[in-house]
């Protein structure tokens, strides 16, 4: 019983620790998304990212890099760009760049893994964008993009503006930033249930599921030179493992290090890292934004390109003699979530910003509905409530056994 309580407490602590790592990234991403929605007009966005040409894709990639954030926040910003007239390819280029071409992610990868994975992350991120561009250009039905854009505009609550305000004046006005505050609160309102459930499940898996289970998933991980079929299977299983251990693009790096230390191939690890956009919470949010058909299409495109790119990099690195040695994997058993570092100061900053925006938005617009009448939303609401109870009991058990 005492062992269970210890693991129970560890699960709750892990959940809170992982969210602690990601909170400032959520805040930053939603702030950028809110500013785009308020200050950037559809007409201006069409001029810069309307067509899926090299310039538009490059702009989407650049904007994604400078606004790097966690998956949930990046999804929100992508929807904002797409609903305001950006083409699907530049919008998806933004999404891939903002979750893969990430400076802080590269730092964490360097700490837990090795420099080869850092190179793989950035080179692979660019290759994912190029491969996605080709696949979408060859397969996207035009009517699907049109219906998805209409759904995104409806979900975001856009109305056609005949008299577009000057963004320079709006960004310097109290009214403009009050609109940003209101939109920021609405962004959190849209995904708080998914975030709560996702991080709680991640903590449970990290604490209760033994590492040997993940090792057993990857065929050929016990061999130093796996055959092509084994590499392919590991690369396919990578997204499957990520599906059941979703903790965001930054939080899954420690688990990637565990897999790496247990002999999983470079391709399998990279596929696991790249898979933060092909998990159920992301699929559900994409469906909410664009409809289920477009959400399924985007997931299929991302899944196919991440598998292809991971295998391509594996054998490319092998030809160059750059494949990492599994013995170089660093231990993740002594992680410290709560300590005085840049995460603490950024979390305090965005905690204050969030509280200020909530108060400002409430004063202007009153309370906000925490859901709607759809059955799925009601189910998620009660699952989120159950998650809060689980976390509270887990923390209580941690204190009881001390």
pLDDT tens-digit map of 281-307: 788 888 888 888 999 999 999 999 999
The C-alpha atoms of residue 142 and residue 128 are separated, in whole angstroms, by: 22
Q: What pLDDT score does 136 carry?
A: 93
Angle of the 228-244 helix axis to the 292-319 helix axis, nearest 10: 140
Q: What pLDDT score does 317 carry?
A: 94
Whether pTM > 0.85 for this model: the answer is no
Provide the 10 A C-beta neighbour count for residue 208.
13
Q: What pLDDT score does 69 carry?
A: 57
Q: What pLDDT score does 332 carry?
A: 44
CA neighbours closer than 13 Å in the CB half-sphere of residue 219 = 11
Tell me which residues of the chain have a pLDDT lower than 50: 159-160, 162, 330-333, 370-371
- Tokens describing residue 221: 């991980």
Q: What pLDDT score does 329 carry?
A: 56
Q: What pLDDT score does 68 carry?
A: 56
Q: What pLDDT score does 309 carry?
A: 96
Label residues 151-187 b or e (16+ Cβ within 10 Å = b): bbbeebeeeeeeeeeeeeebeeeeebbbbbbbbbbbb
Helix ranges (H only) for 67-173 are: 71-83, 88-100, 103-112, 115-139, 142-156, 167-171
């Amino acid at each position: 019983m005492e062992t269970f309580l210890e693991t129970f407490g560890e699960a709750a602590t892990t959940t809170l620790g992982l969210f602690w790592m990601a909170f400032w990234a959520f805040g930053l991403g939603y702030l950028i998304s809110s500013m785009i929605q308020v200050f950037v007009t559809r007409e201006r966005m069409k001029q810069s990212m309307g067509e899926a040409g090299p310039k538009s894709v490059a702009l989407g990639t650049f904007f994604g890099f400078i606004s790097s954030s966690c998956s949930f926040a990046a999804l929100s910003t992508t929807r904002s760009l797409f609903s305001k007239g950006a083409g699907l390819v530049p919008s998806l280029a933004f999404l891939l760049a903002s979750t893969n071409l990430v400076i802080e992610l590269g730092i964490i990868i360097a700490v837990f893994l090795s420099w080869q994975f850092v190179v793989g992350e950035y080179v692979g991120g660019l290759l994912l964008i190029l491969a996605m561009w080709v696949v979408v250009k060859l397969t996207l039905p035009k009517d699907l993009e049109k219906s998805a854009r209409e759904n995104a505009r409806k979900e975001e609550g856009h109305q056609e503006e005949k008299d577009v305000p000057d963004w320079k004046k709006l960004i310097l006005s109290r009214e403009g930033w009050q609109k940003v505050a209101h939109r920021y609160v609405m962004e959190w309102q849209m995904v708080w249930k998914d975030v709560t459930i996702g991080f709680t499940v991640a903590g449970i898996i990290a604490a209760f599921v033994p590492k040997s289970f993940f090792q057993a998933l990857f065929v050929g991980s016990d061999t130093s030179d796996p055959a092509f079929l084994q590499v392919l299977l590991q690369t396919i299983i990578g997204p499957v493992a990520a599906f059941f251990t979703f903790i965001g693009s930054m939080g899954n790096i420690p688990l990637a290090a565990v897999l790496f230390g247990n002999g999983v191939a470079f391709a399998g690890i990279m596929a696991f890292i790249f898979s933060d956009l092909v998990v159920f919470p992301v699929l559900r949010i994409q469906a909410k934004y664009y409809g289920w058909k477009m959400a399924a299409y985007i997931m299929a495109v991302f899944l196919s390109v991440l598998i292809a790119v991971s295998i391509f990099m594996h054998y490319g690195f092998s030809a160059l003699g750059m494949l990492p040695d599994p013995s170089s994997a660093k231990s993740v058993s002594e992680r410290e979530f709560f300590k005085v570092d840049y995460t603490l100061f950024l979390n305090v900053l965005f905690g204050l910003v969030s509280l200020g925006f909530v108060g400002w938005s409430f004063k202007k617009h009153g309370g906000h509905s925490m859901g709607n009448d759809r059955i799925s939303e009601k189910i998620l609401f009660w699952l989120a409530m159950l998650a809060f109870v689980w976390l509270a009991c887990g923390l209580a058990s941690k204190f009881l056994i001390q």
